Structures are given as structure tokens and as C-alpha cells.
Amino acid sequence: MTLLTVSGLRKHFPLKKDLLGRGGGTVHAVDGITFDVAQGETLGVVGESGCGKSTMARLLLRLIEPDEGLIRLEGRAVGTQMPLTEARGKMQMVFQDSFASLNPRLTVEDSIAFGPIVHGLPRAQARERARSLLARVGLEPLRFAGRYPHELSGGQRQRVNIARALALRPKIVILDEAVSALDKSIEAQVLNLLLDLKVEFGLTYVFISHDLNVVRYMSDRVIVMYLGKIAEAGPAESVFGDTRHPYTRALFSAMPSMDPDRRTQQPPLIGDPPNPIDPPPGCRFKGRCAHAEDICGRGDITLTSAGAEHRVACLMTQPGSGHSSAPGKAA
């Protein structure tokens, strides 16, 4: 069952010109993104800095207003058919910076109880819920409820943030690089916790990360983003096992080999990801792509089906696209 539908989501940020009239331009942070999330699944979102994955997360919760696009939660359009407060109760978020996302003047118990109180739960019940959530995320309430964020380690603070995200009993939790700042041994603990909570509370996750190993481990389906657009999307095993987009392939082969006898010999890409200010028309990856042809610069490249639920935005996978490596029409 589809829980969340996102269609044509777009957000451009205009840049100011400086005193001499230089600069300007527009950052195409998120540029027409369409996907949906099924009840109970984990949707992984990967991409490098500037690909728009965090902007996308903020747009989902309407922390920033989209320029265009429609978000439907449980079939109702957020903002019109479903009021924002209701949508935000059903969609919660955990951020990367565990310290910046907690109020330093509130004890962790108060932080967790804050949302439910705002949403009308009596104080005593909200505190009760905060304490039981603390226990659930592995922080003994008697020891931790009265502590302030600076009295906790990074891993403990992230557990508090997870507890807070669950305090409104959401359907969907958006995890934006939620484990990226943690040490490996702590990251593993938090990932295990997230998997347990998902089962226990019947949650749906949107899991955003730059770490492909973690995304592969957590996700049922995966979206690969590049400069504000989706390059490839599909079930995790087919995106990782039968990778079709040249960018996704490059991203995967940039991962350290983990085998001392088979070290990486050639970097898959040269140069930095381009910045998303006024990107050229056509495929956004063409400047770094080994297979780029003139045709790649003409017009928008649409996400096209490349097998069961696997979608790719590359002319090489589209029959009759005009790219010399495209499959024949019969295929």
C-alpha cells in the first residue's frame, strides 16, 4: 500500500548578485522529483553533496516550501486536504547533528515530551510517554531523563532524537544522515535499534545517506540522486546488483575495496561533482560521463523503466533514444 506519493517536487534557490552585479543564477536543488513510498518499507536515498537529498527531506516535511509539486500522505494532499500539523505528526525527522537538533535548555525528557504536549496530550501522559520511549531506545529513564544534551555522548543524543521523533507516533520517519556522524561501533548499535523500532512500531523509513554500505543494508528500495534529479531508482537488490546508470556505477566503484589484495587502481570519475547552479540542459551527468554523446545534451532525460520497478534516467537504456549504445527498438 502506498503511504506517501511525491510528484513533480521542485525547489530552486535564486542567488543574490554581488555589488558589482556578478553572480546571480539559480540553484536547482531539487528539480522535478517523483517517487512513492510504500507502507512498511525503507526507501534509501543516496547521492553526493549538492545532489538535493537533504533539501528533498526538508520539502517532504515542508520545513521549506516547494516551488512546485504535490505530496500526498495516505492519499490526501499535504497542505490542502491534510493540514500541515497533522502531516508533521505523521512524518517525523532525525537529523545528522544530534546536538544542534536538541534544545540545550531542555532536559531530554522535556525535549521528547514537547511535541506531544503541543499536540494536546496532557503533561503527565506526555512525560510518561517520554520515559517509556527513553527506555525503548536504550537509555535508562532514571539515569537519563533529567539530563541535558551536553551531558550525553553523540550516540546517546542520537537515541534521544530518535525517541523524540517517535513521540508523536508517526507513520514515517525521515532519517537524514542520522548515523553519519557516529563512530562505527556506535553506528552499528543505532542501526540495530532502528531496525527493531521499525518492526515494533510498524514504521516506514526514508533513509538518506551518502554511505552506500549503510543504505544497502537498510533499504528495500533505493533512489540515486544527482544534481537535483533522480538518476536511478528501484529495488535495492536490482539497483546494487544490476546497476544501469553510469553515475550509479561510478559511485559504487568509488567505494574502498575492503580487500588489501584488490585495491582500487583507477578512480571511476575525475573532478568534483559540479555545483547545482544553472545546470546545463539535458543529462546533468554528461560532463563527467565516459559515454556522453551530443544527444545527451538535448532535452530532458526522463526516468524510464528498465525492468521490474527499476527506473533509469539514461539514454543508453532507452530503445530508440538515438544514443549509439541504446538497445535496438526490438529489445
Partner 1 sequence: MEPRAPDEPLVSVSDLTVRFSRTGQTIQAVNGVSFDLAPGEVLGVLGESGSGKSVTLRAMLRILPAHRSSVTGTIRVAGRDVLALSGAELEDYRGGTVSMIFQEPMLSFDPVFTIGQQIAESVRRHMKVDQQAARARALEMLDRVQIPSAKRRLDAYPHEMSGGMRQRAMIALALACKPKLLLADEPTTALDATVQIQILLLLRELQREFGMSVIFVTHDVGVAIEVADRIAVMYAGRIVETGSVREVIRTPRHPYTQGLLSSTVRGELRGQRIEAIPGSPPDLAAMPPGCAFAPRCKHARDECLRAVPGAVDVGGGHEARCVLLKLAA
The answer to whether the CB of 268 falls within 8 A of the CB of 254 is yes
Name which of 191 and 295 has its Cβ closer to partner 1.
191
* Smallest separation, CB 37 to partner 1 (Å): 18
Cell match 500539523: residue?
85
Residue 232 Cα distances to 34, 45, 222, angstroms:
12, 10, 8
Reference 171, options 8, 66, 60, 64; nearest CA is 60
Name which of 99 and 240 has its Cβ closer to partner 1.
240
Euclidean distance between CA atoms 170 and 164, whole angstroms: 10
Name which of 80 and 266 has its Cβ closer to partner 1.
266
Euclidean distance between CA atoms 303 and 232, whole angstroms: 8
Q: Where are the beta strands (DSSP E) in 187-296?
A: 204-209, 221-226, 229-235
* Smallest separation, CB 247 to partner 1 (Å): 9
* Smallest separation, CB 306 to partner 1 (Å): 21
* Smallest separation, CB 53 to partner 1 (Å): 12
Helix axes 123-136, 154-166, angle to 10 degrees: 130
Q: Is 176 helix (H, G, I), strand (E, B) or coil?
A: strand
Please give the backbone phi and psi of residue 122, each rounded to the nearest 5 degrees, phi first: -60, 145
Q: Is 29 helix (H, G, I), strand (E, B) or coil?
A: strand
Name which of 142 and 255 has its Cβ closer to partner 1.
255
Name which of 268 and 327 has its Cβ closer to partner 1.
268
* Smallest separation, CB 218 to partner 1 (Å): 8
**Site for partner 1, rule CB under 8 A:** 48-49, 153-156, 183-189, 191-192, 195, 210-218, 236, 240, 250-251, 254-261, 263-273, 275
Name which of 121 and 191 has its Cβ closer to partner 1.
191
* Smallest separation, CB 242 to partner 1 (Å): 14
* Smallest separation, CB 184 to partner 1 (Å): 5
Residue 17 Cα distances to 20, 110, 264, angstroms:
8, 43, 43
Please give the backbone phi and psi of residue 174, each rounded to the nearest 5 degrees, phi first: -100, 120
Euclidean distance between CA atoms 182 and 161, whole angstroms: 13
Name which of 80 and 185 has its Cβ closer to partner 1.
185
